[in-house]
Amino acid sequence: MKPEGNPWRLSVAPMMEWTDRHCRHFHRLITRHARLYTEMVTTGALLHGDVARHLDYSAEEHPLALQLGGSEPADLAACARLAERWGYDEVNLNCGCPSERVQRGAFGACLMAEPGLVADCLRAMRDATALPVTVKHRIGIDRGEDYGFVRDFVGTLAERGGCEVFIVHARNAWLQGLSPKENREVPPLRYATVYRLKADFPRLTIVLNGGVAGDEAIEAHLQHVDGVMIGRDAYHHPWTLADWDRRFFGDASPPRTRAEVEAAMVEYMARQPDLPWNRVSRHMLGLWNGVPGARRWRQVWSDHRLYGEAPAAVQRRAREPLPVG
């Protein structure tokens, strides 16, 4: 849809407990251009907690977006200012998380029932920062499948909130009876609804998310929308990111090999002696998927008996059955 210079053409989704700074560092070693997102950070955590712990990152992670969870315009505005001060490239409002804990905080997917409030939040954030302010949401809540619901939600946020970029998870959020994991699997995917949003709002940037796996699927969706956001497939099968720069961003420079990515991660672990290396290594366990010897490699990097060894020593143990490149 939009040209390859579109910043939202391809991205890795914000995922709780997964896309921390170590995961993002790993992904950035594989793709130079895909947009990366933090885990959702609540406004309360930033305004009343350890700001550096939540916002610190490495410079090489750019382009990088901060995802916020909250529903108070003034609090979100304050956090948007923090995002700009810390050098993020985007601030994103979560209107898609269906967990009961998030609902108790009156934010996440339940905000789709209050488009006027969300528009006020977005306007406050836009007034507070020059960064792009975006929203990530579902195509509906509970079992309602009325297209008019999500169409009016997007229209209100665009008209009253000034939002221009919408990342749309192509499933409903069932607010009762499903766990967050089930909410990523049970409600049916309805990609045509996201396509229809793009057709109805051609001036907006519409990014599709939800259940997408593989470059062919990405290319097919890009015929209908401006961008694609990949979640679990990027995490569990990270080497799928290796051809993104060439295929989707026109970058002909050669990517790192798997061995080079692993070596860079080991160096990264060594630079942080106070951080247990398993906090980092857990994110790269899918690196050698599909290669003979990958299972033993994963077992070595997951072996709690080796946690006292230096990362380089663990790497030597793990590399024995693997090819050089």
- CB 226 within 8 Å of CB 9: yes
Alpha-carbon torsion 53, 59, 61, 62, what sign?
A: positive
Return d(Cα 7, Cα 25) in angstroms, integer. 19
pLDDT at 106: 67
- 86-90, 99-103, 304-308: range with highest mean pLDDT: 86-90
Domain residue ranges in the chain: 10-249, 258-319
Name the pLDDT band for 211 (thresholds 50, 70, 90). very high
- Mean pLDDT, rounded, for 99-115: 78
Count CB-CB contacts under 10 A for residue 216: 8
Whole-structure pTM value = 0.94
Q: Over the chain, what is the mean pLDDT? A: 93
Q: Which of 35-39, 95-99, 167-171 has the lowest mean pLDDT?
A: 95-99
Q: Is the pLDDT of residue 320 over 60?
A: yes
Tell me the fold of 10-249.
TIM Barrel (3.20.20)
pLDDT in tens, 131-173: 999 999 999 999 889 999 999 999 999 999 999 999 999 999 9
C-alpha span between 282 and 41 (Å, rounded):
21
What sign for the dihedral angle of Cα 24, 135, 181, 192? negative
Q: How many CB atoms lie within 10 A of CB 225?
A: 24
Has 97 been annotated as catalytic? yes
pLDDT of residue 115 exceeding 90:
yes
Residue 156 CB neighbour total at 10 angstroms: 17
Which of 97, 110, 121, 163 does the annotation list as catalytic?
A: 97
Whole-angstrom Cα distance, residue 72 to residue 128?
14
268: CB partners within 8 A, 6+ apart: 22, 25, 280
Q: What percent of the chain has pLDDT over 70?
A: 95
Instruction: Locate 51 and state its tokens.
Output: 């700001």
Q: Is the pLDDT of residue 22 over 90?
A: yes
pLDDT at 1: 47
Quick: pLDDT tens for 41-61: 999 999 999 999 999 999 999
Question: How large is the average pLDDT for residues 231-254?
Answer: 96
Q: What is the pLDDT of residues 247-295, one digit of tens each?
A: 999 999 999 999 999 999 999 999 988 899 999 999 999 999 999 999 9
Q: Which of 109, 174, 102 is nearest to 144 (CA)?
A: 174
Q: Distance between CA 101 and CA 189 in Å, rounded?
A: 24
The DSSP H or E segment spanning 258 is helix 258-270
Q: What is the pLDDT of residues 64-93, one digit of tens each?
A: 999 999 999 999 999 999 999 999 999 999
Give the pLDDT band (50/70/90) at residue 303. very high
